[in-house]
Amino acid sequence: MSLDRDKESTINKHETNNPIAWKVISEWLTAEIDVESIYTRKHLERVPIDKLDFQPHPKSARLGWLASFIAIMPTWGTMTLTLDSFDAAPSGENKRPDVIKTRDELLSTFDTNIARFRDALGNATDESLLQSWTLLFSGKAVFTQPRYLVVRTYFMNHLVHHRAQLGVYLRLNDIAVPAIYQASADEQGGMFVVNAPQNA
């Protein structure tokens, strides 16, 4: 389906002829994060709380930090949608988040942050998502890109990247790795299988 036809469909659904109110991009992004967040949460559910100091290599992040970082990452998406820019180190120092030390807090943090991101995304129009957004570091611009692209790369692709990293940590601790897109070595399923069209 073409972008023009998608926009026409969305306009009819929202009963508006004002292109400023189109929400095609946000609907696409919402559908994607809804699926990805399910499988990300499954990874967080399996984090061994008694092994938060685990490192696969001296240069690697500790397991506790990695899991905590994944849980707070949706806040990046929310900031991208609600601010015109963000300074990752306003004082010149990029402070790492505190490590979350219980499974309940890890999951509740992720759930809360994903819900807030979805709310912000639901309020975003195509017009706002096409506007420029800037990442700063100590007051200096790192990049300026369309807001939708920042959401897609800076947050969503980045989240998938660290989820895959967490999957390696699980494997190295002999913990079953969840199926994501297709079956893993430990379990069947995955979004390609779950969402595949069924034969009549």
Q: Which residues pair with 136 in a beta bridge?
A: 87, 141
| All structural domains of the chain | 24-83+99-129+147-177 (1.20.120.450)
3-state helix, strand, coil in the chain (%, to 5): 55, 10, 35
Q: Is the pLDDT of residue 3 over 70?
A: no
- Report the pLDDT averaged over residues 72-84: 97
pLDDT at 18 (0 to 100):
54
Q: Which two tokens stand for residue 140?
A: 């200096």
pLDDT at 192 (0 to 100):
85
Q: Which pTM does this prediction carry? A: 0.84
pLDDT digits (tens, 9 = 90+) for 90-131: 887 777 789 999 999 999 999 999 999 999 999 999 999 999
What single-letter amino acid sits at 156? M
